[in-house]
Structure 1
């Protein structure tokens, strides 16, 4: 979906909160203008060259901006593009850490926390940070080999990945000659990402063969590892500087350094899987949720993108084995597992002649349908709270028929949704006025000229409108929280034992408001992910 002005405002507010106004100004310029080179960025922001360079260093270090090289009339030119999704992910760090803690334990969680805090680190810096953390937390010195082992587990689970190329060359997309369009497999081969941001990120992403490759210390002949060992002498808290940014060769001094970062894509994939599992549990039962979790766990590494429509195909034996290994397994029989799979998958994929016991039957869960049902529920709940039960029934009726592209007359809607005929036009007008339904007037040629209003829901348009409203609400919530914190600065700076009388009342009020706002933002972000990330 297109990023709206409200979405940009929300992203800028996040950067302001984390890095200050100067960095936010540079980021806002990139979000609104698209890719810019250093000179254009300096002119657009009216900041000094050093202020822009320092801001870019921070944004690149924390994966919010990606530099890339593009050919122009003047030759190769380094440009910078804001990575919108990574900016939003900054408010999801607590969710990411909870995922790691649940799957791999608290020690792995501490390593990921270091990457989230610093953006990019070498493997040695991660080990040093873990060692410092253990010394400060207890008298026992953490075993270095244990930290190394946890790092390997994180990489194998794809929660940590090598950083992208510092300045990938962005090639021009292939041009289509004439009106002819490729068909079949050739269409997939020449298909390019839709936006320049996607193209840049695809060009910068390391090949899968090295994206999760760990170089061992014993490989001393590897020049990349030697560079990393030299670089690792830098303290964990130090900010890395790139002296050649003046020549727009950002990061070139560190091309031989192996830097690691958190793999946001994998975290979002895990959260998407969790949302699907909980949805299936609510709609069906625990057994269906256990089967879906087993399928997703077994096929997670087969997924090449987050918004995949179907899980990877699996045979019944592989699924049943995964179900049996599950700690949450309620002793499901194989036939019961097969029944749940039919419910989740519809018709299975068959490589041979279909039989219930055929070993060639492959099952693939329709994840897109599960997400669409969740999105329907979310929008319908908004309509229910905002417009009432009658509007909810009308909207649900139109949504259920949206894929068929059918329009309905007002009287037909009243009859099918069981809503009073006098109230139906009023409700439809309210929904139309707020962009929740689409209306068209049809002229009927009869004895008398007349017009009939027909209605339908364009889901893609409504969903984008709902997402924009969520961005606006999240922006206002963050702004309100910052205002409350500023208003209560005196209270928060006062020691707890000295908060008496009026100060104590203010402190209790602020703590209650903060808790409500944090909970509201958490739920709102879940909805944002449902429409933007899932």
Structure 2
């Protein structure tokens, strides 16, 4: 279930990137769930052509996934229908494209970065289209050397798992009761955690995902049969797909030619950012030595096959860890004893000289710290101490006991606790004891699952406000540039530039917190 402000924020992102018509179609899918083409036309009150074009744009940019399923028709017979699902996480990832690009820039070279930037801009491309973009940029049409270089750089991105094959255009989804195990395909990450049952969205995305053996494979000459005339009128490079099977008119199809489309592998970038967040949290909470050791452990497991990598834990031998630590310049200053001490700091428990670390615990600690910092800034130090006590206790505590344990005046304690409860940061229960006389007690606790959801919604709200203010400041800057000439011009320019930098940096930090609660 997507939060209220999460939907508003996603709609705002789509509006700012693709306009109001596309956003209206996306909004209906986000609010109502999967819909057929006819249902979308009725609910949006747009023309069929407008809805079709909007769907094409959303599918092209990985914001919507089509799928088919069986439904009971008018005559009582089962008929196969195509529906469209808005992929909320992929919409949010549009905010993180600069972070993804920075990772590629750090780990690979400029040529790889240019290829990757094309995939970010166009959503999906064939290898032929990627080569055409490179040739157009270097004015070398049909140059075999350029195409060979593009192929080599594309393979680097593929080997790093920064790009992947696009999912199936329209997988068939069986009813939940008949859904078979799909162990040969990658499941959604959240379905693996805590044994949580798969949601409808996860089932659809899992069914659409390519087989793991093909996902990062480039064995065929993908896109060699690309014909520019097949492009949709007015569309940018990369919009050629097998649309005929997407319940759209044949005029939008691609003549059913078999091509391989490639896109950004969001999963890999979220994994990189997740690991980075864990390392920085350990650095701030412990020290540089523990952060170096954790980074070495994560780097050592990165090259392993996805199927043998665990999302929540890392297990390595002492020799492997020490060998990886020695590969970095900062790691060479650490002795074997210092590495062992850092592993103890990290809470690694050795078993036959194999050390395991639970990344999920690090993420949970980071989430606790994030919420505690919000309480401290918003409600003050006394409220912070109470919240921290209840968060660690994990059980109901009585008002006077909280006052005694946090050294807060008993007269002020109920007021602070009540304020936290009003703002949905605490859970309250009333206990009535009947003895010689009836006495009532107020008991308090932190209900983390509910609170985390509330905090996430507040973050979406804040991100929406920041984005809107950023757009406003950008419009003011453009307006000012048209009216420049006054003596105060340079002062106003500096103010607008500083405001934009501040808002952008605040949005980056807020997005880090968003990922902590939604993606990690």
Report the TM-score, using the length of structure 2 for normalisation: 0.88
The answer (yes or no) to whether the contact 1:307–1:533 under 8 Å persists in 2 is no
Q: Distance in 2 between matches of 1:148 and 1:50?
A: 37
Q: Distance in 2 between matches of 1:454 and 1:238?
A: 59
Match of 2:364 among 369, 372, 376: 372
Alignment correspondent of 1:151: 154
Distance 1:135 1:393, change over 3 A: farther
Shift of 1:251: 6.5
Alignment correspondent of 1:18: 17
Matches within 5 A, 1:66-145: 66-74=65-73, 75-135=79-139, 143-145=146-148
Q: Give the secondary structure class of the aligned counterpart of 2:323.
A: helix
Alignment correspondent of 1:408: 397
Q: Distance in 1 between matches of 2:238 and 2:323?
A: 48
Matches within 5 A, 1:52-451: 52-74=51-73, 75-135=79-139, 143-174=146-177, 193-215=197-219, 217=221, 225=222, 228-231=223-226, 237=237, 239-240=239-240, 244=244, 245=246, 247=248, 253=255, 256-300=258-302, 301-303=304-306, 308-311=311-314, 313-348=315-350, 350=351, 358=352, 361-402=353-394, 406-451=395-440
Distance 1:113 1:247, change over 3 A: closer
Q: Give the secondary structure class of the aligned counterpart of 1:174.
A: helix
Distance 1:391 1:151, change over 3 A: same
Q: Give the secondary structure class of the aligned counterpart of 1:230.
A: coil
Alignment correspondent of 1:354: none
Q: Which deviates further from its counterpart, 27-36 or 124-133?
A: 124-133
Q: Which deviates further from its counterpart, 98-107 or 410-419?
A: 98-107
Give yes or no for the alignment of 1:516 onto 2:502: yes
Distance 1:444 1:480, change over 3 A: same
The answer (yes or no) to whether the contact 1:166–1:251 under 8 Å persists in 2 is no
Shift of 1:141: 11
Shift of 1:86: 0.4
Runs of 5+ consecutive residues of structure 2 not aligned to the other structure:
74-78, 180-190
Q: Which deviates further from its counterpart, 317-326 or 71-80?
A: 317-326
Alpha-carbon RMSD:
2.7
Distance 1:243 1:533, change over 3 A: closer
Question: Deviation digits for residues 172-207 of structure 1, max 9, x if unmatched?
Answer: 22379xxxxxxxxxx99xx88521111110000001
Shift of 1:327: 4.0
The answer (yes or no) to whether the contact 1:164–1:206 under 8 Å persists in 2 is yes
Q: Give the secondary structure class of the aligned counterpart of 1:278.
A: helix
Shift of 1:294: 1.4
Q: Which runs of 4+ in 1 moved over 6 A?
A: 248-252
Alignment correspondent of 1:525: 511
Shift of 1:142: 7.5
Distance 1:158 1:264, change over 3 A: same
Q: Which deviates further from its counterpart, 463-472 or 229-238?
A: 229-238
Q: Distance in 2 between matches of 1:68 and 1:411?
A: 57
Shift of 1:445: 2.0
Q: Distance in 2 between matches of 1:511 and 1:413?
A: 47
Q: Give the secondary structure class of the aligned counterpart of 1:330.
A: helix
Question: Deviation digits for residues 263-305 of structure 1, max 9, x if unmatched?
Answer: 0110010000001011111122222111111111222345569
Alignment correspondent of 2:486: 500
